[in-house]
Structure 1
Amino acid sequence: MNLFRQADFDGFVQTLPGTRLVDQWESRVAKVGDKVFALMRPDRQPNRLVVKVTEESFEILTALDGIEQAPYFAKRKWVSIGEGAPLPEEDLRYYVTRSHQLVAAGLTKKLRTELGIPV
């Protein structure tokens, strides 16, 4: 699996409850309850993944080569991860999943229940 490939990105994020995919901002965007939790920029070199992270993870990740504050998202602790960044695939899946959890936590209980997300 390579989350920097659209088919793998799509397949993985669709395993997370309440996810829908749209093409927006010249990107493949994963949303939960109409809120973005991840996007992939396959047209960029290197390919990029953008996800929401905790404040602690933001500080750690942005200190690594190939990972930076995500443009337009940085105020809310979003990072842009380049394909060459020193993160194994398992870690990338963790951060995409964690981003889903962080964004879903901001949804109403009613909507989380409707989307099949544990309350």
Structure 2
Amino acid sequence: MDRAGVGRVCLALPGATLDHPFGEHHDAYRIGGKMFAMVGEMGGISFKVSDIAYEVLTEEGRARPAPYLARAKWVNLERIDAWTNQELAEHLAIAHAIVASKLTKKQRAELGLS
């Protein structure tokens, strides 16, 4: 997958938006104003994972703790194409779901989420 592919996958998720809070070379994908994935200027990607996935992915060396976001259980891949397209797309959908689940009931309803 490439940067454009990440955009297609993320923006296809319900209520997802894109902005550039750290400059135009960083893509931040959000749901309800909360970030669930980010593509960096150097071609890496960071995204939210579950506590268990964080432990497994970082212990196995498949991902590293995301700079500045590791304490919130985010992982980082130095290259977007480090995983298969399907696997990355699945993790991005999970990241979206994790963050969406923490939105208020009202926010979820406004975004058309159950």
Instruction: Report the TM-score when normalising by structure 1.
Output: 0.85
What is the total number of aligned residue pairs between the two structures? 111
Distance in 2 (alpha carbons) for counterparts of 1:94 and 1:117:
18
Do residues 95 (structure 1) and 94 (structure 2) align? no
Residue aligned with 2:109, SS: helix
* CA deviation after TM superposition for structure 1 residue 81, in Å: 1.2
* CA deviation after TM superposition for structure 1 residue 35, in Å: 0.3
Aligned residue number for residue 29 of structure 2: 30
1:1-119 alignment, distance < 5 Å: 2=1, 4-5=2-3, 7-26=4-23, 27-41=26-40, 43-44=41-42, 47-65=43-61, 67-83=63-79, 85=82, 87-118=83-114
Gapped runs of 5+ residues in structure 1?
none
Q: What is the alpha-carbon root mean square deviation over aligned residues?
A: 1.5
Instruction: Report the TM-score when normalising by structure 2.
Output: 0.89
Larger relative contact order (Cα-Cα within 8 Å, sequence gap ≥ 6): 2
Q: Between Structure 1 and Structure 2, which shows a larger proportion of strand residues?
A: 1
Seq. identity, %: 32
Runs (4+) off by over 3 Å: none
